[in-house]
Homo-oligomer: A and B are copies of this chain.
Amino acid sequence: METLAQLKKYSAELVDLHHVLALMQWDQEVRMPRRAAEGRAGQFATLSGLVHRREVAPELGALLVEAGAQKERLSVEDQALLRVMRRSYNQNTRLPEEFVAEFSRLASQAQMAWLEAREQADFGIFQPLLERLVELSRQQAEYLGYAAHPYDALLDLHEEGLTTVQVEEMFGELQAPLVGLVKKFAGRLAPLSFGEPFALSGQERFAEHLLMAMGFDFNRGCLARSPHPFTTTLGHHDRRITNRYAPKSLDFIFGALHEGGHALYEQGIDERLARSHLDDGVSLGIHESQSRFWENVVGRSHPFWQRFFPELQQAFPAQFAHTGLDDFVRGINAVTPGLIRVDADEVTYNLHVLIRFEIEKGLIEGSLEVGALPRVWREKYRQYLGVEVESDADGVLQDIHWAHGSFGYFPTYTIGNLASAQIWGAYKQYDPGFGQTLAAGNLTKVREWLAREIHGHGSVYLPQELLTRVTGAPLSAQPFLAYLEEKFSSLVA
């Protein structure tokens, strides 16, 4: 079938070019000299313009129509390729080029304004740009189209098929139980604190050690430093991680486990999907389920640290020689309602997301004004988490997402958290001796199961479809709530 071969060639070349763009961003974060930024932006504009023209080419549109006409004759994977490419073609062609350019110009300005606003704790600096970004995002929803609610269009950008109603149902199930769990466990586990700083090179070595133990393949990826940790893909055999190292924080551990989870997903994709649109995690939510699985479900569990705590003590005797395993595990799980999402524990985290979801929905449907955000933010933090926001810098200005013009992204964090617990349930059925498996450091067993059940499939299945295949059920809040209840009850016992 000639059409299919042409489509695959088209896919391979677009994927190649996107990997080159990813290399440019990787380099910008980890190595690029300071003054090169403006030049790099120009190069990025040139190449991404070129890529965009190929992505909206009528030639591609025609190929997609031709292949669609013969859909029943395609294999499951080829149908998936067609679906993913058509989705991307639709997104690219529905947004007029001038609109995309204006959006991206505005987002650059907004990021600078956001930085300054946060520095000066003055929402007013950011407000006019955010107002304009909300306006454009509502416009974007109209261009993209939706069935029930304009916010659906933005959710779908980040998680294929996700709707506002589904997110409302999800938080409906979560909210009251979570507030209850916070009351029950807050303050019951003593946090850790460190007098002595961790040597940075020792942190990096320990992070490498954990990644190696997880099965991250250093022949198919690498670890570097950057201000904000991230994972990126530069080719089928080139999946890279960054991490950061602060003197008195355990972020180097949980950052490595988190990014390692993302990277194992990418490295686990079957080689037959290489150089195609299917050679990628299926959605942000499922991707986050993998990072959270390793960071929290595995990486904050007691059996995991039975194996690794002695090594941590050996690597950092000044900090851990006089700490017991149980106190350490309690410390890394301390439940403390706070102001900052990225510092939140497993119990409070999704309440931070809920607040953002409610605000985003209000902004996009027009029931909430940008000017009201600082007040609304304070009210919701008081109501859901019982904390007082003193400064907008630690409040409505803490996240960069809106300055990027990204609405509909936050809910995928909660999807990831819920899915990680649901997947853990399925793993425990497969390996009833899971506690011993972790305590023995046999992470290979875990990784191989994940690779077989999830990673290998790349983007072949829809997110919900994949989750149902793996766990026997669609996404639900119950496994996560049960996981929290069981884990924290045992920790405070």
Contacts and interface: CB of A to CB of B under 8 A. Distances in A.
Interface of A: 12-13, 16-17, 19-20, 23-24, 27, 31-36, 38-40, 42-43, 46-47, 50, 217-222, 224, 234-238, 240, 274-275
Contact of A220 (B36, B219, B221, B237): B36
A38 B16 CA distance: 12
Nearest to A34: B219
| Most B CB within 10 A of own CB, among A16, A38, A218 | A16
Nearest to A30: B31
A31 B23 CA distance: 11
Contacts of A219: 33-35
Contacts of A27: 23, 27
A177 B42 CA distance: 52
Contacts of A38: 237
Number of copies: 2
Given A16-B46, A46-B16, A238 B23 contact: no
A24 B39 CA distance: 16
Contacts of A20: 20, 24, 43, 47
6 contacts: A16-B47, A19-B39, A23-B23, A23-B27, A31-B222, A35-B238
A221 B235 CA distance: 26
Interface centre among A31, A222, A236 (most CB of B within 10 A): A31
B42 A16 contact: yes
B275 A42 contact: yes
A10 to B, nearest CB: 11
Given A13-B46, A50-B50, A238 B24 contact: no
Contacts of A274: 39
A38 B237 CA distance: 9
B33 A220 contact: yes
Nearest to A220: B35
A33 B34 CA distance: 25
Contacts of A13: 46
A17 B46 contact: yes
Nearest to A240: B33
A235 B17 contact: no
A20 B22 CA distance: 11
Contact of A238 (B39, B217, B218, B221): B39
Contacts of A222: 31, 33
Contact of A39 (B50, B218, B237): B237
B32 A238 contact: yes
Contact of A237 (B19, B24, B33, B234): B33
Contacts of A16: 42-43, 46-47
A364 to B, nearest CB: 36
5 smallest A-B Cβ distances: which pairs? A39-B235, A36-B238, A16-B46, A35-B237, A16-B43
A418 B224 CA distance: 43
